[in-house]
Amino acid sequence: MSDLVEQKQAQAEAVLRLAPVVAVVVIRRVEQAVPLARALVAGGIPAVEITLRTPVALEAIRAIATEVDEAWVGAGTVLSAQDLHAAAQAGARFAVSPGHSPRLLAAAEDSALPYLPGAATASEAMTLAERGYRLQKFFPAVPAGGVDYLRALSGPLPSVRFCATGGIGAATTAEWLALPNVIAVGGSWLTPPDLVEMENWPAIAALAREASVLRA
């Protein structure tokens, strides 16, 4: 494990400890990015993962990085070295992948961005741990085995901690956070498409506020 990987893992840990939930956000209209991020921050959720699933995602990251100082904006659904580079250029402060590949890991180790690679099995988690990734994304959390599966991994892999993402909602978040190997969860329920489309920022801030105290 290189000192640089551990340094960036420490930075990733700082992001994941900002709040119990990382907001996982799909932005379809770039003008909504800044008010949405401000609503999440106002509710106590500063870590905002903008998924690279829409044509305006990088522009949204750039807008939030420029205009919302209190937000820790990152890029999600990072699938390639090109995605990683583009996210860094846009001002992302961390990057997240649903899985990992040798090329993407090599690019991440050459990048200054803190990186959270994805794992869904014990073998994948072990492979990442060998490269120094003690913090990983467990995805898709519910379909991949749920709470019982991740709890079982804590025995043989006590040094690995996860940000569990995929199929988790407000009603089940506390159960995930109670696991010894879960540092945070990723949640898309904080930004329901209907509320975003209506630009109901107070309602989104209220959802964020409820999530921000789940580990209190």
Q: Which residues pair with 49 in a beta bridge?
A: 24, 74
Beta strand 182-187 with 161-165 is: parallel
Clarify whether 137 is annotated catalytic: yes
Choice among 8, 31, 130, 137 that is catalytic: 137
Q: What is the chain's pLDDT, residue by residue, as a tens digit (216 residues)?
A: 578 899 999 999 999 999 999 999 999 999 999 999 999 999 999 999 999 999 999 999 999 999 999 999 999 999 999 999 999 999 999 999 999 999 999 999 999 999 999 999 999 999 999 999 999 999 999 999 999 999 999 999 999 999 999 999 999 999 999 999 999 999 999 999 999 999 999 999 999 999 999 874
Structure tokens at 84: 């990683």
| CATH number, domain containing residue 15 | 3.20.20.70
Q: Measuring CA to CA, how many Å separate 161 from each of 46, 103, 137, 185?
A: 20, 23, 8, 11
DSSP string, 79-91: -SHHHHHHHHHHT
How confident is the model at residue 1, as a pLDDT? 52
Quick check: is 49 catalytic? yes
Name the residue among 62, 63, 54 with its Cα closest to residue 27.
54
77: closest CA among 54, 55, 53?
Answer: 53
Structural domain count, the chain = 1
Parallel, antiparallel or unpaired: strands 47-51 and 21-25: parallel
Domain range for 35: 3-212
Query: Catalytic residue among 31, 49, 130, 210, which?
Result: 49
